[in-house]
Structure 1
């Protein structure tokens, strides 16, 4: 059984292939895709999104725990509103990165912060010593979420993804 993590308004759960239509509204949206990592390939249709979900689901058991990718579902209506991941940052794959992506129509409702906080709390209980978030310097929304999470700004680097990024870090309290 995979991760099922409730928050006040959301549920973080494993991805399912049946999520493809809803996931496309997140990862297929230009406003979202623009900010994703450089290796992200645009997802333009449901079949492509289903293939991405299939790859994520298949890769899950092979990831270094507690890494993974999860869907964010709104409890009030069961709507899939976004996704989260906890993955190893390149190039040395020793630092865990927290990522979030939401449908543009739900931006500004605090879902990214709520879901990310729950996932970080869970990750720390799994023994992770620190979690990083990276953002392009002009990605004001991602930077604002990192700050609302209480993440400490540690500087800028080109170490990850071969581009200049703002780096934020959280350690267990």
Structure 2
């Protein structure tokens, strides 16, 4: 993504290998990993390997697909990650997902960053965007609604588990 997106409080930019420790504080956190289909990243070395793959893949992804770091502007700290990717079976439905460091939960950062990324994705020609959440992931469900996404039902089509599905279209903004 060029240039990075910015909001009043946040900067959304490409990941860097310099973000390894900060990314591990997010993706290695048991509170975050509990909700991820991939589980927790085991250690800093594993996180570096994951980031290397993300950094290498990013230039080859066709917008709006990608993975980005969410940086708090006031102190420059990486506090989360966002991604836009095709949902399984990887043919047409784009998923927005967000992960934030647990100590930043409840600050509105997920909503703020996601809304900026959604606007950008729609400016790239995307016609609809989905978010999926486990039925007991109340935080993710509440965030999807705050973003402006509408609940469209439940499915086991994605990731082999029962999920709540939310959708947003440009006319919803």
TM-score (norm. length: structure 2) = 0.96
Residue 60 of structure 1 and its aligned partner are, at CA, apart by 1.4
Deviations 1:23-76 (A, max 9, x none): 000000000011012xx1531211111100000111112223210000000000
Distance in 2, matches of 1:42 and 1:27, equals 6
SS in 2 for 1:109: coil
The aligned counterpart of 1:164 is 162
CA 1:55–1:41 in structure 2 vs 1: closer, same or farther (change >3 Å)?
A: farther
1:102-117 mapped onto 2 (5 Å cutoff): 102-117=100-115
Q: Report what 1:32 is aligned to.
A: 32
Q: Find the counterpart in structure 2 of residue 54 from structure 1.
A: 52
Counterpart for residue 121 of structure 2: 123
Return the match for 2:89 from 88, 91, 105.
91
Residue 42 of structure 2: SS of its match in structure 1? coil
CA contact (8 A) 2:65 2:83 kept: yes
Deviations 1:70-100 (A, max 9, x none): 0000000001100000000001421100000
Residue segments in structure 1 that go unaligned for 5+ positions in a row? none
**CA distance 1:81–1:92, shift in 2 (3 Å):** closer
Residues of 1 paired with 2:75 and 2:59: CA distance? 29
CA RMSD in angstroms, aligned pairs only: 1.1
Matched, 1:133 2:135: no
Residue 77 of structure 2 corresponds to residue 79 of structure 1: yes
Counting matched residue pairs gives: 171
- Is the 1:3–1:14 contact (alpha carbons within 8 Å) kept by the matching residues of 2? no
